[in-house]
């Protein structure tokens, strides 16, 4: 028997003089005071196979590492213990480091006997840029690379969003004063790791249709919908895209999948247009885990362009990534409810894709990378 469409069903009600029940589930109110969004935490009754993954299947390079400052033996040993338990073989120190702050950490790691477990990126001082600043920044970058840095980053989201030039105007991402910096990075053969903006929802009105309402309500500094203070999400990304196009000989890594985790096709377009552009996976697991089939297709197609990264250093959170990437598990929790109120599903990535995402791509684009021991 052929089912009626919704409009056909409504027409049938009208034709026979009927109306939908006044107390339909869509309109009737609870008999008891409803909980707030922070109080309602329903426990799933679904029973399905579970495959916890405390340790990654293959060695991992964490391209987006934010461990504590690696200046003391105690900090270094604590981070190494966590890395060993998770099968993270190499961590990129992406906390802002330049000059003495950079060289002191490199020396401390070397003296502790772990020079093969960390690599260091150099930060850039982008405050108060004016005529001649680009050459000064590039000169400091050359010194930092000579001292042992193997990349730039993480360039924080303030770049393009709020960082001001010496004249008080916003420093746009494609400002020509900085061209010499990106050209220097290309000449030195080091990747530029750049974080642009934040999720698109943070640039939208704070209303009950916004998927990230709770997070925006909790964190005032994650609200960028005031167009008098901040550019729009699309305008900011257009600036960034012009920057990529201007420097095709520089290797770029877009942090957080460029915040296109909910629109992977948009990121695919960037990959197709710019063969020198890669993307990193930090803090977007909630988007991948709700579209496991399409995300798996995307990872397979662009397996040479994606790099694992975690962002905040919380060892207990890494296994959620392993489980999404390595299993076909269904409907399991994410680790921060204010990021996502939905559940995650496993992508069940093929081994050849996992190896590239976990370490192969990072080893290819980072110079002087320690050897990856597959048996670790």
The predicted structure's pLDDT at residue 321 = 98
Q: Which residue has the higher pLDDT, 284 or 24?
A: 284
Q: Residue 2: is its pLDDT beyond 60?
A: no
Q: Residue 3: is its pLDDT beyond 50?
A: no
Q: Residue 6: is its pLDDT beyond 60?
A: no
Q: Residue 67: is its pLDDT beyond 70?
A: yes
In a domain, residue 18? The reply is no
Q: Residue 44: is its pLDDT beyond 60?
A: yes
Residue closest to 96 by CA, chosen among 146, 164, 159, 187:
159
Structure tokens at 211: 């998927």
Alpha-carbon distance of 167 to 152, in angstroms, equals: 25
The predicted structure's pLDDT at residue 373 = 78
Give me the DSSP letters along 234-250: HHHHHHHHHHHHH-TTS
The predicted structure's pLDDT at residue 374 = 65
Give me the DSSP letters along 101-169: HHHHHHHHHHHTT-TTTEEEPBP---TT--TTHHHHHHHHHHHHHHHT--SEEEEPTHHHHT-B-TTSS
Q: In angstroms, what CA-CA distances link 38 with 42, 45, 185, 201, 215?
A: 11, 20, 46, 19, 11
Alpha-carbon distance of 28 to 32, in angstroms, equals: 12
In a domain, residue 299? The reply is yes
Query: Are the beta carbons of 173 and 247 closer than 8 angstroms?
Result: no
Alpha-carbon distance of 127 to 213, in angstroms, equals: 31
Q: In angstroms, what CA-CA distances link 356 with 184, 296, 304, 306, 346?
A: 27, 14, 7, 8, 18
Alpha-carbon distance of 340 to 322, in angstroms, equals: 18
Query: Are the beta carbons of 149 and 365 closer than 8 angstroms?
Result: no
Q: What is the CATH number of the domain that holds 352?
A: 3.20.20.140
- Token pair 């400091």 in the structure block, residue: 140
- Token pair 């885990």 in the structure block, residue: 289
The predicted structure's pLDDT at residue 340 = 85
Alpha-helical (H) ranges within the chain are 6-15, 73-86, 100-111, 133-147, 158-161, 179-188, 213-218, 233-246, 264-273, 285-288, 292-301, 318-326, 351-355, 361-365
- Tens of pLDDT along 338-353? 988 899 999 999 999 9
- Tens of pLDDT along 174-227? 999 999 999 999 999 999 999 999 999 999 999 999 999 999 999 999 999 999
pLDDT band, residue 265 (cuts 50/70/90)? very high
Q: Vertex 352, ends 347 and 355: CA angle to 5°?
A: 90
The predicted structure's pLDDT at residue 337 = 87
In a domain, residue 271? The reply is yes
The predicted structure's pLDDT at residue 47 = 97
Alpha-carbon distance of 188 to 83, in angstroms, equals: 29
In a domain, residue 210? The reply is yes
Q: What global pTM score does this model have?
A: 0.92
Residues 346-373 have a mean pLDDT of 96
Q: Residue 162: is its pLDDT beyond 50?
A: yes
Residue closest to 83 by CA, chosen among 50, 111, 109:
109
The predicted structure's pLDDT at residue 23 = 52
pLDDT band, residue 288 (cuts 50/70/90)? very high
Alpha-carbon distance of 332 to 324, in angstroms, equals: 9
The length of the chain is 376
Supply the DSSP symbol for 356: I
Q: How many CB atoms sit inside 10 A of residue 373's CB? A: 9
Supply the DSSP symbol for 370: P
In a domain, residue 330? The reply is yes
Q: Residue 4: is its pLDDT beyond 60?
A: no
Supply the DSSP symbol for 4: P
Structure tokens at 225: 């919908």
- What is the average pLDDT value for the chain, to the nearest integer? 93
In a domain, residue 41? The reply is no
In a domain, residue 45? The reply is no
Alpha-carbon distance of 136 to 131, in angstroms, equals: 10
pLDDT band, residue 1 (cuts 50/70/90)? very low
Residue closest to 270 by CA, chosen among 236, 290, 240, 297:
240
The predicted structure's pLDDT at residue 282 = 98
In a domain, residue 27? The reply is no
The lowest-confidence range among 9-18, 63-72, 366-375 is 9-18
Q: Calculate what percentage of the chain has a pLDDT beyond 70.
A: 93
Structure tokens at 152: 């730039």
Q: Residue 244: is its pLDDT beyond 50?
A: yes
- Token pair 């790099």 in the structure block, residue: 307
Q: Residue 117: is its pLDDT beyond 70?
A: yes
Please, is 247 exposed, middle or buried when counting C-beta atoms within 10 Å of its C-beta (0-12, 13-18, 19+)?
A: buried
Residue ranges making up the domain that contains 307: 60-365
Structural domains in the chain (count): 1
- Tens of pLDDT along 8-40? 444 433 444 444 454 567 789 999 999 999 999
């Amino acid at each position: 028997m052929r089912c009626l469409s919704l409009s056909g069903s409504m027409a049938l009600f009208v034709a026979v003089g009927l109306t939908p029940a006044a107390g339909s589930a869509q309109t009737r109110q609870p008999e008891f005071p409803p909980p707030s969004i922070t109080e309602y935490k329903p426990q799933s009754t679904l029973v399905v196979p579970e495959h916890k993954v405390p340790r990654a299947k293959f060695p991992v390079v964490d391209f987006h590492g934010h461990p504590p400052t690696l200046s003391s033996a105690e900090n270094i040993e604590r981070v190494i213990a966590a890395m060993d338990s998770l099968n993270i073989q190499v961590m990129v120190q992406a906390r802002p480091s330049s000059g003495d702050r950079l060289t002191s950490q490199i020396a401390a790691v070397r003296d502790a006997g772990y020079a093969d477990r960390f690599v260091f990126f150099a930060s850039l001082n982008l405050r108060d840029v004016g005529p001649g600043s680009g050459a000064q920044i590039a000169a400091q970058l050359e010194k930092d690379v000579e001292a042992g840095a193997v990349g730039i980053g993480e360039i924080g989201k303030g770049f393009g969003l709020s960082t001001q030039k010496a004249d008080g105007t916003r420093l746009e991402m494609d400002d020509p004063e900085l061209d010499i910096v990106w050209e220097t990075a290309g000449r030195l053969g080091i990747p530029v790791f750049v974080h642009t903006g934040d999720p698109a929802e943070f640039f939208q009105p704070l209303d009950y249709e916004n998927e990230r309402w709770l997070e925006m309500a909790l964190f005032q500094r994650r609200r960028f919908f005031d167009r008098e203070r901040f550019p729009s999400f699309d305008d900011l990304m257009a600036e960034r895209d012009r920057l990529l196009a201007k420097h095709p000989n520089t290797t770029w890594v877009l942090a957080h999948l460029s915040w296109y985790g909910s629109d992977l096709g948009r990121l695919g377009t960037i990959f197709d247009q710019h063969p020198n552009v890669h993307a990193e996976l930090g803090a977007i697991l909630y988007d991948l885990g709700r579209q496991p089939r399409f995300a798996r297709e995307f990872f397979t197609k662009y397996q040479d362009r994606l790099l694992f990264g975690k962002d905040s250093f919380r060892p207990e959170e890494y296994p959620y990534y392993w489980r999404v990437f390595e299993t076909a598990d269904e409907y399991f929790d994410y680790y921060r409810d204010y990021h996502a109120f939905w559940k995650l599903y496993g992508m069940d990535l093929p081994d050849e894709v996992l190896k590239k995402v976990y370490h192969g791509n990072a080893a290819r684009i980072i110079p002087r990378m320690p050897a990856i021991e597959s048996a670790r």
